[in-house]
Every structure is written in structure tokens, then in C-alpha cells.
Amino acid sequence: MSLQSIFDAVVLGIVEGVTEFLPVSSTAHLLLSTELLGIGGGLDKAFWDTFNVLIQLGAILAVVVVYFGRLWGVVLALPSDPDARRFVLSVLVAFVPSAIVGLLLHDFIKTVLFNSPVLICVVLIVGGVVLAALDRYDVHPVNRDAMRFPLWVALVIGLFQCLAIVPGVSRSGATIAGALLVKCDKRAAAEFSFFLAIPTMLGAFVLDFYQNRSVLSGDDMGIILIGFVVSFVAALIVVRTFVDFVARHGFLPFAWWRIIVGVAGLIGLWAFG
């Protein structure tokens, strides 16, 4: 484990933790960081692609920690409370579409879409424009509690999450956009996106770890652990502050962030190849 590899793991862990739950696409930021900054640390690109997926587990843990009280309350109430069972079912209904798409297209996503930095930059820009338009959309919300969404609302959000197979779309951005279009308020949309991230990202972690278990060495696991811890700490800060920020300022700052990063990425790719 070289110092350069440790440094790379810390940088990517920060990028993952900061961007995972923001509607700016953590995958795009990770891939562009790897591409434009030349992050590699002597290990091949295949490892770092896997690393970027596996350290998402740290971000998942941050959601569990922040919402532990509410989630544990749901677990305890499952045998007797229909609302608790409906909440769990709504998350599962939203999770299933992306799980199916992810299983069917996993190899295509990793070998083709993950290796298209120009596509990623363009999608970031387009997504920023869409997010800015949605931020001005007069929602008139009728769904204000993320733990009481109707099942059809959860399904729509889950279908929107499928768009996130394209790096740059943003899983959280797609789910929040879907929620806004079916009249969920911004705070509830953000919180449901957090809850949906738990099975979605855990599933991606398990699949990627299983498929790459034979090529990961003990040294690799040490680097992944560093990225995991850094990702957890960064995501913990974001999850604690994001919902209140959105309630006050909306999504326009993130729309501009996407556009600026996408344009900067295209300029960097053009300038440095």
C-alpha cells in the first residue's frame, strides 16, 4: 500500500461522501476525478472502478446513523403497524426497477458507460438544466411525509432511478426529480431518496464485490477500508445538512454546480486529452 494509493483513496472517499446524496452525480465526479487528475496509484483502472462502487457502503452507513431512530422504530413496528409495513414496501417497490436494470446491464454500464468521460460531462450539463427547470416548477405538494408515500408514487420514483445507470444523471437527482413531478415536497423527496439509497447502494456493493472477489487482494482491502471511512465521515456531514439546505435554498445551487463541473470537464478533456 503506497502513500500515493492512500492519498488517492482519501481524495476519492471525500468525493464520494460529499456528492453521493447531492443531485450532482457521485459517479460522474468519481470518474472525472480519476480521469482528469490521473488517480491510479500504481493500481489498474479496473480496481479503481470497483473501489468507487465499494466505498459507497460508507455513505450508506451515514444514512443509517443519521436516521437510525426512525428506521429502528420502523423495524420494531413491523409486526403490528400497517404504516411501517407500507413504508418498507414502498422502498422495495422503488428499488426493484433499478435492481432489474442493474443486473441486466451491469457489464455494459461498467465497460462502456463508465469509460465515456465526454458523455458524462454532457449528461452533467443537461441534468443541470433539467434540475434548474424543476426547481422553478410549481409543485403544489400533496405528499409531505417520506415514510407515507403511496405505492404508485414510490414506483414512479423507482422508475426515475433507473435513469441513473448513465453516469452523470445522479441517482439522488433522478429520484428527487421523479418525486417532485408526482407532487412530493422537496424535503420529503430528499429524505425518500436517502431511504431508497440503502437497498440500492447495498445491492450495487454486494454485486460488485462478488464479481471482483477473486481479483481483490489484502492490500486492496486496506485501501478500500480507507476510502470507506473517509466516505462515511464526509457523507455524515452532508446527510445531516442537506435536507435543511434544500428546504431553504432549493436545488438551483446544485444545478449550477452540475453545469460548471460538466463544462470544466469538457474543457479539461479537450485541453489534456
Structure confidence by residue, pLDDT tens digits, 178-195: 998 898 988 899 899 999
Of 3 and 151, the structure prediction assigns the larger pLDDT to 151
Rounded to two decimals, the pTM is: 0.85
Question: What type of residue sits at position 99?
Answer: A
User: What confidence category does residue 263 fall into, taking pLDDT thresholds of 50, 70 and 90?
Assistant: very high
Q: For residues 237-263, give the mean pLDDT.
A: 88
What is the C-alpha to C-alpha distance for residues 26 and 99, in angstroms, rounded to an integer? 18
Q: 85 pLDDT exceeds 80?
A: yes
Question: What type of residue sits at position 142?
Answer: V
Of 113 and 72, the structure prediction assigns the larger pLDDT to 72
Sole residue written with cell 409531505:
144
Nearest by Cα to 170 from 180, 179, 160: 160
User: What confidence category does residue 41 fall into, taking pLDDT thresholds of 50, 70 and 90?
Assistant: very low
Q: How many CA atoms lie within 13 A of 210 on its CB side?
A: 8
What is the C-alpha to C-alpha distance for residues 172 and 246, in angstroms, rounded to an integer? 13
Other Cβ atoms within 10 Å of 38 Cβ, number: 10
User: What confidence category does residue 1 fall into, taking pLDDT thresholds of 50, 70 and 90?
Assistant: low
User: What confidence category does residue 260 fall into, taking pLDDT thresholds of 50, 70 and 90?
Assistant: very high
Max avg pLDDT among 34-48, 86-100, 161-175, 256-270: 86-100
- Rounded to the nearest integer, the mean pLDDT of the chain is 85
Give SS3 for 143: strand
Q: For residues 112-140, give the mean pLDDT.
A: 83
- CA pseudo-torsion sign 227, 230, 232, 234: negative
